[in-house]
Amino acid sequence: MTGVAGPAEVLRLDGVDLVRNSRQILTGIDLVIRAGEHWALIGPNGAGKSSILSLCGAEQHPTRGTVRVLGQQLGRVEIRRLRESIGHVDPRHPLRSPLTVRQVVLTGATGTTELMNRWHPASELVERADHLIDLLGLGALDGATWPTMSQGERGRVLIARALLPDPPLLLLDEPSTGLDVAAREQLLETIDLLHRTQPGLATVLVTHHLEELPETTTHAMLIRKGRVLAAGAADDVLTTERVSESFDHPIRIEHRDGRWHARAASRAAASV
């Protein structure tokens, strides 16, 4: 009897070490992400979260071990073409020009910061950009330009930009950086909407703060000193004991109304 195949594998890291300038950054990282899963990479500053994300985005090669992204092994694939199939949202996007919302979104087709000279998008591409603008609630920004947008508005525009090529994998690098509480909640609502409307999309979100996790987070990886402390279903990984160990500090974790909450606990209370 033949078993039923599960969701397609989108990303796999096997025994990955990363060494830079003679410094061990990552050690023995194993990770498998499948279509429709929404992962959070969590750990203190310097734990290695951004380094893992750079491997997921084909921006670095491992020193040892193998990384397969969308079925292609790093080191045996044309990196530029592979990156075209990966959406990447970085709130530190270095755009300075007064591009409109639509123009910023359209740069997702060329993978550039600015619009390319003499490049004219096909009508189908413009229609998809407008669809994403409407889907992510950006229609009210018609006429706004990048320098006049708030940080929260920019974050949602960058998500639309990353989704323009319809990638199977979306990476979100601390997307709530610099946002006030209202803007953060709007961004998380946008990510939840995205997860619910595109069920096959796999996402990886890096954050230091559990309050910045969307409700639709399915899996989590806790990282400590370049090693995986725990990985799996979010409810199993994001516990008081494990998060406290990752951050080397007693932290009480609660999961209520679909969201995670963290607060410092006294060491005496944590030991009870």
pLDDT in tens, 31-70: 999 999 999 999 999 899 999 999 999 999 999 999 999 9
Residues in the chain: 272
pLDDT at 246 over 70: yes
Only one residue has tokens 């619009």, namely 115
* 230: Cβ contacts below 8 Å, ≥ 6 apart: 220, 221, 222, 236, 237, 242, 246
pLDDT at 3 over 70: no
pLDDT at 1 over 90: no
What strands lie across the sheet with 86-89, from one edge to the other? 86-89, 169-173, 202-207, 38-42, 219-224, 227-233
CB-CB contact of 109 with 195 (8 Å): no
d(CA 259, CA 215) in angstroms, rounded, equals: 5
pLDDT at 224 over 60: yes
CB-CB contact of 252 with 267 (8 Å): no
115 phi and psi angles, rounded to 5 deg: -70, 135
Maximal C-alpha separation, the chain? 66
CB-CB contact of 86 with 167 (8 Å): yes
Break the chain into its structural domains and give their ranges.
7-85+167-272, 91-166
pLDDT in tens, 97-137: 999 999 999 999 888 888 888 888 889 999 999 999 998 88
CATH code of the domain made up of 7-85+167-272: 3.40.50.300
Task: Please give the full DSSP string across 93-127, using - where no structure is assigned.
Answer: ----S--BHHHHHHGGGTT-SSPPTT----HHHHH
